Amino acid sequence: MRIAVVGATGMVGSVMLKVLEERAFPVTDLIPVATEKSVGKKVLFKGQEFPILGMQEAIDRKPTIALFSAGGNTSLEWAPRFAEAGTVVIDNSSAWRMDPDKKLVVPEINGDIIGKEDRIIANPNCSTIQMVMALAPLHKQYHIQRIVVSTYQSVTGTGVKALQQLEDETAGKAADMVYKYPIHRNVIPQCDVFLDNGYTKEEMKLVHETRKILRCDSIQVTATAVRVPVKGGHSESVNVQFEKPFELEAVFNTLRNTSGVVVLDDPNAFTYPMPLYAEGRDEVFVGRIRRDESISNALNLWVVSDNLRKGAATNAVQIAEMVAKM
């Protein structure tokens, strides 16, 4: 079981290595891969040092599975080359998510669609993963008509340089500006670039990926994605309207019995999900569960998850575990 991690020195890549180790994935040969400037450096895995390789050298090693977190352009160029060599690529970028010939997978929801013939499998966007983890079991019961979601996204979703900007600004130091504005003591209503329709790419990912994962093109989704000065995870305010009526207690019971979801909801004890609880965890935390009293069959939820783990690395490793079993 030869495992390549492409982008091994990046923020998500380093968490992938950590998750592979934590979950005791049966790695017999680790192949860390990064840009040419990192080739020859070493990464630590299970107490051993492994040298970083370039792309072609990694392909020549014929990995069984390659976990990609190196950006869309890199994936578009190199994922097919790994696949042609017989490797199953699990890609964390947006490059393949909406390709009709590629599977977009959250294992707890639609892992059944993975087949032995799949050579490139897409890992969804972090904000999409946590939302559908909470909504998929409710969709099965009540069928979603419309979702209105506002996200409060950690700087780690942008990368290590954005985290450094926040830390430098917090310390009162001059910072290299990854964002157009300061992020310390500020919120920026822009995640990713703007599109012609006035929405950002991040917002439209929530629209299209949700429909694909839940296998329902009729679901209406509208999103506003906001960057906040937080390190530990993404938060989302989700308003969802169903076709069928529901009882709140049944909603609570469904979510409490959903694998990978933890309900934190006790207003009297001031218990609700926060990045403070989610950082370093794989679960998706759901709270502030309440009926929307302004319209029929609608519900409000607050959803929080560590965007580097379940939102990226852990979900990818879970897909790899399913592939390995095949």
Note the pTM of the prediction, 2 decimals: 0.96
Amino acid, res. 20:
L
Instruction: Determine which helix (DSSP H) or strand (DSSP E) holds 65, and give its type and residue range.
Output: strand 65-68
Among candidates 319, 136, 91, 125, which has minimal Cα distance to 234?
125
The residue to which tokens 């580097």 are assigned = 308
Model pLDDT, residue 178: 97
- What CATH architecture applies to the domain 2-123+312-325? 3-Layer(aba) Sandwich (3.40)
3-state class of 23 per DSSP? coil
Residue 134 and residue 303 in contact, taking contact as beta carbons nearer than 8 Å:
yes
Model pLDDT, residue 112: 96
Model pLDDT, residue 222: 98
Model pLDDT, residue 229: 98
**What letters, b where the CB count within 10 A reaches 16 and e where it falls short, cover 16-34?**
bbbbbeeeebebeebbbbb
| Whole-Å CA distances, 258 to 108, 275, 302, 320 | 9, 20, 16, 21
Among candidates 109, 157, 201, which has minimal Cα distance to 307?
157
The residue to which tokens 């319209």 are assigned = 295
3-state class of 125 per DSSP? coil
The domain limits of the chain are 2-123+312-325, 127-307
DSSP string, 74-122: HHHHHHHHHHHTTPEEEE-SSSSTT-TTSEE--HHHHGGG--TT-SEEE
Helices (H), the chain: 11-22, 55-60, 72-84, 107-110, 126-142, 160-170, 201-214, 248-256, 275-278, 314-325
Q: Report d(CA 73, CA 95) in Å as an integer.
A: 7
How does strand 88-91 pair with strand 284-291?
unpaired
- Round the average pLDDT of the chain to a whole number and report it: 97
Model pLDDT, residue 275: 98
Model pLDDT, residue 292: 98
Determine the CATH number of domain 127-307.
3.30.360.10
Amino acid, res. 173:
K
Model pLDDT, residue 36: 84
Give the count of alpha carbons within 13 A of 265, CB side only: 21
3-state class of 6 per DSSP? strand
Residue 74 and residue 67 in contact, taking contact as beta carbons nearer than 8 Å:
no
Model pLDDT, residue 101: 97
Low-confidence ranges of the chain (pLDDT < 50): none
Q: Any idea which residues carry the catalytic annotation?
A: 126, 234
Model pLDDT, residue 35: 87
Q: Report d(CA 100, CA 295) in Å as an integer.
A: 35
Model pLDDT, residue 120: 98
Model pLDDT, residue 40: 86
DSSP string, 203-242: HHHHHHHHHHHHT-TT-EEEEEEEE-S-SS-EEEEEEEEE
